[in-house]
Chain A
């Protein structure tokens, strides 16, 4: 158990080092410095700036200084937004993105799992067909299309929700649905197929034969076992929500981290791209680490460290 944690933490650190090295060399191999403007900056100022941001040092030294900043949670200045640091952007953007992301995850769990269970229990009935139709639609229609449809109908035509920003509780509805769409459909499908699998097992028949109430059979014996593969989906779900927020925040004009990232990509704001990528990577790695620990806790059959 202990060796598992150690191994995971070591591989996490190696991954982070590799990712920072990759992003660092990539971003520095692009010609043009951060202070290259259309109007040339006077030489002295340029020299002072370069000195302040260590741009005269050889690349490995710069990398080490960047890493030193990273360890102390300092990601450097933004190149395109003068006077703001990447830290500022993350501090202002991440709480907003996290709020929407958590709400979306909640929606996925609260809605997706029951829908999948109902669909499996009513296999080949109209409700099953309806749920599966919606789920297939949710997987095949990209999130930006879902988001724009929500804006067009519910914000534009019907006027039920605001079309941009996060000013009122109602304005969360659009982004959260658009963000949850894909994973919600996926979880519904996954729960259904895993539920169908479990319902065919012998122990379910035994439980029924023993005269246990149908409700107890479903809730206690079937659903709990059917959920194991669903829990495994949490990792990819985090990834889907992270990348989904790029698009959803852009469409709904939400000043979250995703929109900062997309903006920095369009503005070629290299330090911000680098900083947010590293932040996303670390965030994702840590989430997955905790998810893995949670698996072992939920399903005693999984033993950490036996994967080799």
Chain B
């Protein structure tokens, strides 16, 4: 070709090629994770739950073990009855409370034992020098059927049948439990225990699983075979059975016992995952290069192999945390949890079970907390999987 055919084209302004900053693997993953709205919501929720659990108790007026016997089983919403310009709340077990108009508890009124008329179903309470009468015979006595209210309150010559308002319980926002402990503080404290158990057990699982799995995968051959048979045997029975056995063997539901029980069983899935990663990674050239240069086995595993397997490991951690919360709640629920007055969400739910029909709010709050936590971690886990491990991406 002749030289004349080569002509410089005129420069038409800037080079149109877009220059993007080069991203590392982690920067790219972080960018994708931030784009996933549900994951971001999940992360915010987890931060909120952690704050709720660890900072929250500093802002309540009670500790998790403070018992105020006269204020037991108080709901978060109070139905107020107004009689003689005073406000009253009557609990399900016919305790009368003097309340301010905005729902702040003032005191429980004393039931006058001399004026306890069980036949006509009328209780009389002392309010200073005066008396408050509660007539709860409606719809109970055969002669008083078909009323749309169950009791009347008489004070200062005024008889009221219907509540004037339903107000939030200003003193106990989530109500109290059967021993008069503040449920809000207990749910916060339960968050601490549940999250601590989940995090520590997961970290322990991570260490055992990663070390076990990487040794098994890297060594290969007979070592791998024996180590994996052990994992297979452990895995061939529902893992919860081992945890229950261990908990029974520990003879107590201390916080550390639960953590040890969870940590000593659930590492098997992590070990399998890491082994699989090791098997494919160890064949790659950079490992060969390291080996040729005389890098020690331990260094190859910890400096070269594990960092490269970090993506799937992190995804698996994000899925392990909620399942640990779940297992802990399950254990507490069948009576193998932390012992009173300590509480986790599972023990709170278990304690609420006996009074469920009368005090449903006692179950509602711990159950809601478990569900929120699970949901948040699941969202994060899904997002992490999409960001870190494109092969596992869901349809």
Give CA–CA (A243, B237) in the complex, Å.
11
Chain A contacts for B326, CB-based, 8 A: 142
Chain B contacts for A179, CB-based, 8 A: none
Judged by a CB distance under 8 angstroms, whether B74 is at the interface is no
- Residue in A26, A200, A273 whose CB lies within 8 Å of B395: A200
Judged by a CB distance under 8 angstroms, whether A139 is at the interface is yes
Cross-chain contact B251 with A145 (CB below 8 angstroms):
no
**If the complex has contacts A239-B238, A265-B334, are A140 and B251 also in contact, measured as CB distance less than 8 A?**
no
Cross-chain contact A277 with B334 (CB below 8 angstroms):
no
- Residue in B229, B245, B333, B356 whose CB lies within 8 Å of A152: B356
Judged by a CB distance under 8 angstroms, whether B371 is at the interface is yes
Cross-chain contact A15 with B371 (CB below 8 angstroms):
no
Give CA–CA (A186, B258) in the complex, Å.
27
CB distance from B83 to the nearest CB of A (A): 29
- Residue in B246, B330, B336, B374 whose CB lies within 8 Å of A247: B330
Cross-chain contact B241 with A280 (CB below 8 angstroms):
yes
Judged by a CB distance under 8 angstroms, whether A296 is at the interface is no
Cross-chain contact A11 with B233 (CB below 8 angstroms):
yes
Judged by a CB distance under 8 angstroms, whether B375 is at the interface is yes
The contact string, 1 if C-beta is below 8 Å from chain A, for chain B 244-260, is 11101101000000000
Cross-chain contact B238 with A242 (CB below 8 angstroms):
yes
Counted as pairs of residues, one from A and one from B, with CB atoms less than 8 Å apart, the total is: 119
Q: Which residue of chain A has the shortest Cβ distance to B225 in the bound complex?
A: A308
Cross-chain contact A156 with B251 (CB below 8 angstroms):
no
The contact string, 1 if C-beta is below 8 Å from chain B, for chain A 219-247, is 00000000000000000000100110011
**If the complex has contacts A11-B233, A148-B356, A243-B238, are A266 and B335 also in contact, measured as CB distance less than 8 A?**
yes
Give CA–CA (A140, B322) in the complex, Å.
9
- Residue in A137, A140, A193, A265 whose CB lies within 8 Å of B244: A265
Cross-chain contact B245 with A145 (CB below 8 angstroms):
no
**If the complex has contacts A145-B363, A152-B357, A268-B248, are A19 and B237 also in contact, measured as CB distance less than 8 A?**
yes
A contact face: mostly helix, strand, loop, or mixed? helix
Cross-chain contact B249 with A151 (CB below 8 angstroms):
no
Chain B contacts for A243, CB-based, 8 A: 238, 240-241, 330
Judged by a CB distance under 8 angstroms, whether A212 is at the interface is no
**Which residues of A240-276 have CB atoms within 8 Å of chain B's CB atoms?**
242-243, 246-247, 250-251, 262, 265-266, 268, 270, 273
Chain B contacts for A142, CB-based, 8 A: 326, 329-330, 333, 349, 367, 370-371
Chain A contacts for B356, CB-based, 8 A: 148, 151-152, 156
29 contacts between A and B (CB under 8 A): A11-B232, A11-B233, A19-B237, A26-B245, A26-B249, A137-B371, A139-B378, A140-B375, A141-B367, A142-B333, A144-B330, A144-B333, A148-B349, A148-B367, A152-B356, A193-B394, A196-B395, A243-B241, A246-B330, A250-B334, A265-B334, A266-B335, A268-B248, A277-B244, A280-B238, A284-B236, A284-B238, A285-B236, A288-B236
Spell out A's residues near B (CB within 8 Å): 11-12, 14-15, 18-19, 22-23, 26-27, 29-30, 136-137, 139-142, 144-145, 148, 151-152, 156, 193-194, 196-197, 200, 239, 242-243, 246-247, 250-251, 262, 265-266, 268, 270, 273, 277, 280-281, 284-285, 288
Known pairs A141-B367, A142-B370; list 14 more (Cβ under 8 Å): A11-B229, A19-B237, A26-B246, A26-B248, A30-B251, A140-B375, A142-B349, A144-B349, A145-B367, A145-B370, A156-B357, A200-B395, A265-B244, A273-B245
